[in-house]
Chain A
């Protein structure tokens, strides 16, 4: 029998990477929050590989940390290996990546939710959702408890009407053998929320004992460990290595012989899969001339023998999977613990959302993460924190928190989601950000801590530290601009040894730092007035000096962009009545309801002439 259980300010459906950040942000901002999860044993599960970060995603994690989120801390506390990717390719693309212990990570997140004030964690499947006449939302659990809340955040990941595919076999399921969430999908349809089908997949996990590592390449961690969080009170350690092997002609033959048994190729899957997570069969079909495909063997944790076989996602039948696995060097006697599968699920077109991640048509209802057509833990967490913050702000009747494209990868991610036509799950990539020289992983704290502090998610003390760091950076840049270094025999011999021209007269220190052949650190012996500075500060000074021209140019573009961004468009603007707009533009604008002229200008199908018409219309109507 239905019963009224409790009333909250904010209710979060799902305790994956998005739901966790949404719940924590909301509760930490002082509003009563409940987080529902289908299984309390798998809060913050990593159903695909047990790695956090990587290219552009590492930047997302650092930004989440700078806003006061949890993902960076959880990663630092539970990492078993880490590497800084792309060293040598330039600071804009340096990317921290870590392997974490899957069980420990999940336990850490569960414990963090449990300890968080203002937050209740409940194991319950939500089967119904509706809006009450007073505007409040009501959700119902499978056990028929009714909860009311001012805001609801949907973070259902791949659970919503999830269906797993392995060859000819398919059945309703969430990831990792958990229950799917079917009734909620029906309830959302009843409410009028339109969904679509996307798919993703994961490779098999094998028992370490059955793998012969003897002839496999070892991939070591970095000596100096990278961190994701601001917290320097503990030092993460490297505890594991990864290995590399390759597919071969025999692997290819087995797969091609059995292609008709793949649901991807025999037409039984309707969902659209991401191009960046192709199954091994897709890779072989799309790139038939590639001789071999690389496979990473990554440990899933320290207290398990399960190994994640990155590069071997597949939806082929179990027997075929085993057959092709055993063609691969090192896998001759492999024993699989979990079979690879594809999973298809319901998600929404995020163009129905505002930049706050609130639904345009359903006040108080928010969406985030894989539910919003993204893919990846970091993308999910990034949206989670923004949705949680805005749900709390809405409860408190405060103005929304919106990050624009120039502020962060988080802002870029959300702007892309709510503006672009997506035909596959969205993954963050460095090339998605036009301002990537400014939006680096090393300056995420300098860019965003201020917002975290203003929102009440970051302490005064931590904010002051960041302000002090910024002050020292600025001071040092001023100093190297005004300091002149006299030529000397030692310095010139260094310059010659680096194959750069020797000095004849005194030169400003910054000019020397700017030479690509030299680093800030190299000049220390010749720089008598140099203050003691931390490595982090030195890094910022060096980057700011070397890339000053490029950074200035991006800053100018940012200013131009923000001009259009500051022209806000009301949600109730009737675009269909602006007859001078082209029909396509009228339709697209009506659907997407952009929040600013800037966003409108990024919609495909809206031309510069349409934007001019819009500007004039606004002026005329005094909008």
Chain B
């Protein structure tokens, strides 16, 4: 039985998000992405244990989280289960899920947790009937969705990549199955070049996944700045309407306000935070805490400063938070003077613009900076794009095998070993198009090579 993982909270921004992992390796998978505070590992804990800790990708911490361990059979599915309760946010949750997949879990099919629960005797017949309907309905839905996706450019792109490997596999197969026929010898250098080209295509498809998510799901964006530098004005500029309470009194924005705004072809999921600064006001300090959390979870930071005044320690503290993250410094209030120069802040942020948020014309300046930063300016919506984790996971699995094939060529292994990696690279790609490796290769052999007695 494989170990499955999925985001089990609704696919929307929420206060808390749960990644659920179930299966024989659930605890091992969780241990590789989650470090408890203290010395113990989850695998050393009994069932029903709860631990606080952080989710990490081996180098960096992604989020603080609470892990709950269930031991088989005492869990929803009847298997070992770990729930990672994190700080929500669609993008972050997907990152955490991907980490789990990278560490050995496979994406859960629709209804699979319930199916396992049933198969492990955790559910009665009546419930099972309804699960069955659910699964078959999902199956159809998934098939329809797959069909629709395959109509488009993704299908073509995947096929183009798969075809490189099918052609190679067919050549190997013809070369092996018809040793007496005049099959051109395999040129491993050429093969390697072809593999690398296809690898790059696949890898850019995978890289574009995030961009695709930015366009379809939105980029988690936070606006930060010390009080009264114009955060809410900026937000209103982006949204094109008044949303936050904008006053001259510092600290007016007490809650995190969430909105979505389409800027050019990018969707920003905007959080306008309370001004970050030490506050004695209890209500506001809660807002500030939350803002800090938001800051560490967001994909994009819009750091705003008052450009008509010189940078102070508070501004610098905020800018320092931006270091190493996709971020734009908005040097606001250009109408009141230009004391802060772009060069003063570029050490901290990815890029900087000088605007007056009150001026509607500033919108275009911002849009250009955004598109440039996110790489979406050139985005062609007809270009192939992976749209879900399952497709991403298939492509990632394939990528691993392609790298193995290249490595096998490099290390001078014989063709049969290379061939196994090539077959393994094709399988997950064909999974997306519903074909089978062996049939695809055999068909290619006979259409490309004149073989046989």
Least distance between B437 CB and chain A CB atoms (Å): 7
Stretch from B212-220, B334-342, B438-446 that touches the partner: B438-446
Question: Beyond A294-B180, A607-B139, A616-B135, is A430–B173 a contact (Cβ under 8 Å)?
Answer: yes
Q: Are A86 and B140 in contact (CB under 8 A)?
A: no
Q: How far is the CA of A314 from the CA of B233 in the complex (A)?
A: 84
Chain B residue numbers with a CB within 8 Å of A554 are 420
User: Known: A49-B453, A431-B177. Contact between A612 and B139, CB under 8 A?
Assistant: yes
Interface flags for B133-155 (1: CB within 8 Å of A; 0: not) read: 10110111011000000000000
Q: Please state if B441 and A93 are interface contacts (CB–CB under 8 Å).
A: no
The stretch of B81-89, B91-99, B410-418 in contact with A is B410-418
Output the least CB separation between A542 and chain B (Å).
12
**Assembled-state Cα–Cα distance A602/B439 (Å):** 12
A609 touches B142 (CB 8 A): yes
Q: Are B438 and A434 neighbours in the complex by a CB distance under 8 Å?
A: yes
CA A286 – CA B438 in complex, angstroms?
22
Question: Do residues B132 and A613 form an inter-chain contact, with CB atoms below 8 A?
Answer: yes
Question: Do the beta carbons of B139 and A582 come within 8 Å of each other?
Answer: yes
Per-residue interface assignment for chain A, residues 284 to 300, with 1 indicating a CB less than 8 Å from any chain B CB and 0 otherwise: 00110010011010000
Considering the complex, which residues of chain A in the window 576-623 have a beta carbon less than 8 Å from any beta carbon of chain B? Answer: 580-582, 602, 604, 607-610, 612-613, 615-617, 619-620
- The answer to the question of B169 belonging to the interface, with a C-beta cut-off of 8 Å to chain A, is yes
Report B209 CB to chain A, min CB distance, Å.
23
With a cutoff of 8 Å between Cβ atoms, the chain A residues found around residue B436 in the complex are 602, 604
Residues of chain A contacted by B423 (CB below 8 angstroms): 434
Q: Mark B102-116, 1 if CB is under 8 A from A, else 0.
A: 000000010110010
**Shortest beta-carbon distance from B263 to chain A in Å:** 39
Check A276 against B446 for contact (C-beta < 8 Å): yes
Q: How far is the CA of A88 from the CA of B413 in the complex (A)?
A: 10
Q: Which of B128, B135, B176 contacts A55 (CB 8 A)?
A: B176
Q: Give chain B nearest CB distance to A213 CB in angstroms.
A: 18
What's the nearest-Cβ distance from chain B to residue A501, in Å?
12
Instruction: Name the CB-closest residue of A to B186.
Output: A89
**How distant is the Cα of A92 from the Cα of B177 in the complex, in angstroms?**
12
- Asked if B450 is at the interface of the complex by the 8 Å CB criterion, the answer is yes
A275 at interface (Cβ–Cβ under 8 A)?
A: yes
A431 touches B169 (CB 8 A): yes
**How many angstroms between the C-alpha atoms of A90 and B176 in the bound complex?**
10
Q: B139, A437: Cβ atoms under 8 Å? A: no
A56 within 8 A of B: yes
Closest residue to B182 on the A side, CB-wise? A294
Q: Does A432 contact B (CB under 8 A)?
A: yes
Complex contact B119–A615 (CB within 8 A)? yes
The answer on a CB contact under 8 Å between B412 and A311 is no
Nearest A residue to B435, CB-CB = A604
Check if A517 is an interface residue, CB within 8 A of chain B. Answer: yes
Supposing A432-B442, A609-B135, A613-B139 touch, asked if A311 and B453 sit within 8 A by C-beta, the answer is yes
User: Is A40 positioned at the interface, with any CB of B under 8 Å from its CB?
Assistant: no
- The verdict on B46 contacting chain A, using a C-beta distance below 8 Å, is no
Interface residues in A541-590 (C-beta closer than 8 Å to B): 546-547, 550, 553-554, 560, 563, 580-582
Distance of A315 from chain B, by nearest CB (Å): 15
Contact A616 B115 (CB under 8 A): yes
B392 within 8 A of A: no
Residue of A nearest to B417 (CB): A550
In the complex, per-residue mask of A83-122: 1 if CB is within 8 Å of any chain B CB, else 0: 0011011111101000000000000000000000000000
Contact between B453 and A617, CB atoms less than 8 A apart? no
Contact with B along A327-348 (1 / 0, CB 8 A): 0000000000000000000000
Q: Which residues of A contact B169 (CB under 8 A)?
A: 431
With A294-B182, A432-B438 in contact, do A90 and B177 touch (Cβ < 8 Å)? no
CB contacts under 8 Å to A, within B395-434, are: 411-417, 419-420, 423
A183 CB to closest chain B CB (Å) equals 32
A277 to B446, CA, bound (A): 10
- Count residues of A near B (Cβ-Cβ below 8 Å): 62
User: In the complex where A554-B420, A580-B133, A620-B125 touch, is A296 in contact with B180 (Cβ < 8 A)?
Assistant: yes
Q: A277 with B135: in contact, given A429-B177, A431-B441, A615-B119 (CB under 8 Å)?
A: no
The answer, yes or no, to whether B131 is at the interface (CB within 8 Å) is: yes
Q: Say whether A229 faces chain B, with CB atoms less than 8 Å apart.
A: no
**Pair A86/B181 contact, Cβ less than 8 Å:** no
Q: Do the beta carbons of B179 and A437 come within 8 Å of each other?
A: no
Among A550, A604, A612, contact of B115 (Cβ-Cβ < 8 Å): A612
Q: Which residue of B lies closest to A89 (CB)?
A: B415
* Residue B451 at the chain A interface, CB threshold 8 Å: yes
CA of A57 to CA of B33 in the docked complex: distance in angstroms?
A: 48
Minimum CB–CB distance from A248 to chain B (whole Å) comes to 14
Contacts of A607 in B (CB 8 A): 139, 143
B128 near A517 with CB under 8 A, answer no
Let me know if B118 is at the binding interface, CB within 8 A: yes
Q: How far is the CA of A290 from the CA of B448 in the complex (A)?
A: 11
Residue pair B452, A275 in contact (C-beta under 8 Å): yes
Q: Chain A's nearest CB lies how many Å from the CB of B93?
A: 25
CA distance A90 to B419 in the complex (A): 10
CB neighbours (8 Å) of A437 from chain B are: 416-417, 420
Residues of B within 8 A of A550 (CB): 417, 420
Report the nearest B residue to A421, measured CB to CB: B439
CB pair B132 A617 closer than 8 Å: yes
Return the chain B residue nearest A309 by Cβ: B453
B195 proximal to A (CB < 8 A): no
The answer to whether A89 touches B416, judged by C-beta atoms less than 8 angstroms apart, is: yes
**Pick the contact of A436 from B136, B416, B452 — CB < 8 Å?**
B416
**Cβ 8 A contact of A609, one of B129, B131, B136, B452:** B136
A278 within 8 A of B: yes
Chain A residues, Cβ within 8 Å of B439: 420
Q: In this assembly, does A313 line the interface, its C-beta being within 8 Å of a C-beta of chain B?
A: yes
Chain A residue at minimal CB-CB distance from B178: A55
Chain B residues lying within 8 Å of A420, measured Cβ to Cβ, are 439
Pair B180/A612 contact, Cβ less than 8 Å: no
Is A326 on the interface with B (CB-CB < 8 A)? no
Residue B70 lies at the interface, judged by CB distance under 8 Å to chain A: no
A91-B111 Cα distance, complex, nearest whole Å: 43
B175 at the interface (CB under 8 A from A): yes
Interface pair A92/B173, CB less than 8 Å apart? no
Chain A residues, CB < 8 A from B450:
278, 283, 286-287, 290, 293
**CB under 8 Å from chain B, chain A span 393-441:** 420, 429-432, 434, 436-437
A516: chain B residues within 8 A (beta carbon): 411-414
Asked if A310 is at the interface (CB within 8 A of a chain B CB), the reply is yes
> Looking across the interface, which residue of chain A has its beta carbon closest to that of B441?
A431
Of A93, A277, A609, which contacts B453 at CB under 8 A? A277
Whole-angstrom distance between the alpha carbons of A275 and B414 in the complex? Answer: 28
Interface contact A90-B140, CB-CB below 8 Å: no
State whether A277 touches B452 (Cβ < 8 A).
Answer: yes
A203: nearest chain-B partner, CB-CB: B453
| CB-CB nearest 8 A-B residue pairs | A609-B139, A90-B414, A90-B416, A92-B416, A516-B412, A580-B136, A431-B173, A275-B446
Interface residues of A (CB under 8 A from B): 48-49, 55-56, 85-86, 88-93, 95, 203, 274-278, 283, 286-287, 290, 293-294, 296, 310-311, 313, 420, 429-432, 434, 436-437, 516-517, 546-547, 550, 553-554, 560, 563, 580-582, 602, 604, 607-610, 612-613, 615-617, 619-620
Q: Can you list 9 A-B contacts with CB-CB less than 8 angstroms, sorted by A residue number? A: A55-B176, A437-B416, A553-B420, A582-B139, A610-B139, A613-B135, A619-B118, A619-B119, A620-B132
